Amino acid sequence: MNAAGDIPLEELLADARACTACTDLPLGPRPVLQAAAGAKLLIIGQAPGTRVHATGVPWNDRSGDNLREWMQVDSAVFHDPARIAIIPMGLCYPGRGASGDLPPRPQCAPRWHPTLLAGLPDVALVLLVGSYAQQRYLGSHPQGVSGRVQSFGAYLKEGWFPLPHPSPRNRLWLRQRPWFLEEVVPALRRQVHALLR
Ligand code: SF4
């Protein structure tokens, strides 16, 4: 049930999947998300890319491969909505700009997150992947994503785990910050495996 206690999660998911509020999306509305009652882990990323839009399967791309590698989970576990809920900042592919995909539609998270997240009372850990999710749920940080990720232990106490976007385009970010693979990823795996076992 959601915060009002009167709308089942299945109904909220059906409503979100039927959303056509953004009439100017380049490939049209196709909300991609997964969730089921009992999920303990929630991933809030950015927005689907073209491959995810085409298949309707969240994180079904190279970014998803990298995220699963960081989490050390296979696709069967990752795509089991009763274990892992996936609700991005923008549920639909937003289109392409000069330097990659456009930002998630700003109206999407305010429209869908409050009720959907309220319908997932068993979630104990939320992975905030990339700047848009972190900005919404953690607020600003003088060092942006790097600062939040490096301070992950402080956020973990509140049930948040900030991560960089796992896009192959972020290889340079990773190379310049060896502490991420050495310290943050092992901690992420411990948290994820403790919840999913
Ligand atoms: S981006 Fe969000 S608000 Fe816009 S059509 Fe898709 S689900 Fe609806």
> What pLDDT tens digit does each residue of the chain (197 aa) get?
455 457 899 999 999 999 999 999 999 999 999 999 999 999 999 999 999 999 999 999 999 999 999 999 999 999 999 999 999 999 999 999 988 899 999 999 999 999 999 999 999 999 999 999 999 999 999 999 999 999 999 999 999 999 999 999 999 999 999 999 999 999 999 999 999 98
Say how many Å lie between the CA of residue 135 and the centre of ligand 1.
19
Say how many Å lie between the CA of residue 43 and the centre of ligand 1.
18
Give the global pTM. Answer: 0.96
pLDDT, position 7:
87
Q: Give whole-number Cα distances, 142 to 146, 148, 166, in Å.
A: 9, 9, 21
Say how many Å lie between the CA of residue 108 and the centre of ligand 1.
5
pLDDT, position 4:
47
pLDDT, position 100:
86
Q: Give whole-number Cα distances, 58 to 155, 171, 172, 190, in Å.
A: 25, 21, 25, 23
pLDDT, position 162:
98
In testing the pocket of ligand 1, which one of 32, 107, 115, 116 has its CB within 8 Å of the most ligand atoms?
Answer: 107
In testing the pocket of ligand 1, which one of 33, 46, 52, 91 has its CB within 8 Å of the most ligand atoms?
Answer: 91
102 C-beta closer than 6 A to ligand 1: no
Alpha-helical regions (H) of the chain:
9-17, 50-55, 62-71, 75-78, 108-118, 131-138, 144-150, 152-156, 171-176, 178-179, 185-196
Say how many Å lie between the CA of residue 150 and the centre of ligand 1.
32
Task: Give the whole-angstrom CA distance, residue 145 versus residue 175.
Answer: 15
Identify the burial level of 161 via C-beta atoms within 10 angstroms of its C-beta, where 0-12 means exposed, 13-18 middle and 19 or more buried: buried
Task: Give the whole-angstrom CA distance, residue 97 versus residue 50.
Answer: 13
Q: From the options 3.90.1150.10, 1.10.3470.10, 3.30.450.90, 3.40.470.10, give the CATH code of 9-196.
A: 3.40.470.10
The SS3 assignment for 34 reads: strand
Spell out the domain ranges in the chain: 9-196
